[in-house]
Amino acid sequence: MANPHLSKILVASHNDGKISEIRDLCGPLGVEVTSAKELGLPEPEETGDTFELNAATKALAAARASGLIALSDDSGLVVDALDGAPGVYTADWATLPDGSRSFEVAMQKVEDALQARGAVGDAQRTGRFVSVLCLATPEGETCFYRGEVSGVLVWPPRGSLGFGYDPVFRPDGHSLTFGEMPAEEKHGWKPGQATALSHRARAFKLFAEQRLGVPTP
């Protein structure tokens, strides 16, 4: 993929939380952000069995429909004691019979599954958040950027910040869950900074350095 200056990016998502986080991360870089939701683009069916395949499906669909360079995120919670579940089906675990989503229900499903396997101590409740960003052009070119952060699944949920499974995920080396951290602390990254905390910030750091020309510290 060529490396044109990106002044505007279409976020290939209808998830308000993801759109807000990517907009926050793009803000300091002077990149204008719009979204598939704001443009009324349809959501493609995600049938891939990897984060990369699903990210590509979303980014390519949005790029081709809009004629803009699109950035997608496919992310999920990978729990070691559950053999990697929910993984690429992270959002599906939150889906209710009427098609709506409740992450309160999803977090309870994860906890019930952990309890069923006798995973009660921190050493048995390890996992990681994974984020794969895909940048796609209308011509069909793609690039991928992957970020991961390890941690422990806590119960009961703590905090009302963030979104998704954030209230039950405590990243390694921290006492707060993602649900208790303000966005700036959760991301743990800004342009020119060597480290990033969240999975999405780590993926975005690679994207910013490799595609937007942000210097690597």
Active site positions, annotated: 74
Determine phi and psi for 179, rounding to 5 degrees: -70, -15
- The tokens for 62 are 């949005």
What DSSP letter does each residue of the chain carry, written as one string? ------SEEEE----HHHHHHHHHHHGGGT-EEEEHHHHTPPPPP---SSHHHHHHHHHHHHHHHHSS-EEEEEEEEEEGGGTT-BGGGTTGGGB-TTS-B-HHHHHHHHHHHHHHTT--SGGGSEEEEEEEEEEE-TTS-EEEEEEEEEEEE-SS---SSSSTTGGGEEETT-SS-GGGS-HHHHH---TT-S---SHHHHHHHHHHHHHS-PPP-
